[in-house]
């Protein structure tokens, strides 16, 4: 059995969960692990000099618990055959991990709005810090344009995933 793990990250309230759930609807044997499910209790979250709880830092998350959930998924992934060519079919399970690393500063608008100064004083600097850390890692990362519509982003990611699965011979594409 093969596993395929996808990471989705971006700005807080930028549509990561929406994209992940939409992909899950269209991909067989797909599970999601959301980083937001692993925040520490509020009493353990530090507050900055402006009184804002510091949720946009890794220290606000129980990463050991999240990594344990990922390991558990890898050990117990449920899957079924994914192919239209049954002679070469392989079993595959897909995991989407979505989290809070940030991008798309200029067009970020949502309700309710941030407290004055929060985004500029905390969220954006944390984004720049984490993005630089990601750029220093040798993983293949695809950056999405957050100004595109949800539908366009979904289609781009879905088509990329189908191509990757086909390359790995996990999915047989037919015309």
Tell me which residue of 141, 165, 157, 167 sits closest to 22, measured CA to CA: 157
Alpha-carbon distance 153 to 166, whole Å?
Answer: 20
Alpha-carbon distance 18 to 108, whole Å?
Answer: 16
Please give the C-alpha separations between residue 152 and each of 92, 99, 144, 170, in angstroms, as whole numbers: 26, 20, 10, 24
Concerning whether 36 is annotated as a catalytic residue, the answer is yes
What 163-167 contacts at long range (C-beta under 8 Å, 24+ apart), as own/partner pairs, is 164/4, 165/4, 165/82, 165/92
Catalytic residue (choose from 36, 48, 85, 160): 36
Q: Which residues are catalytic?
A: 36
């Amino acid at each position: 059995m093969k596993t395929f793990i996808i990471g989705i990250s971006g700005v807080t309230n930028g549509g990561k969960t929406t994209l992940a759930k939409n992909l899950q609807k269209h991909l067989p044997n797909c599970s999601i692990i959301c980083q937001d499910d692993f925040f520490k209790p509020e009493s353990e979250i530090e507050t900055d000099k402006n009184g804002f709880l510091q949720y946009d830092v890794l220290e606000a998350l129980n990463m050991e618990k999240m990594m344990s959930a990922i390991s558990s998924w890898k050990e117990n992934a449920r899957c079924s055959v994914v192919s239209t060519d049954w002679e070469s079919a392989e079993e595959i399970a897909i995991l989407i991990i979505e989290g809070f690393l940030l991008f798309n500063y200029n067009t970020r608008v949502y309700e309710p709005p941030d407290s004055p100064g929060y985004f500029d004083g905390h969220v954006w600097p944390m984004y720049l810090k984490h993005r630089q850390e990601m750029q220093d890692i040798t993983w293949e990362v695809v950056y999405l344009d957050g100004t595109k519509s949800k539908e366009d982003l979904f289609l781009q990611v879905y088509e990329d995933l189908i191509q990757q699965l086909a390359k790995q011979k996990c999915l047989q594409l037919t015309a």
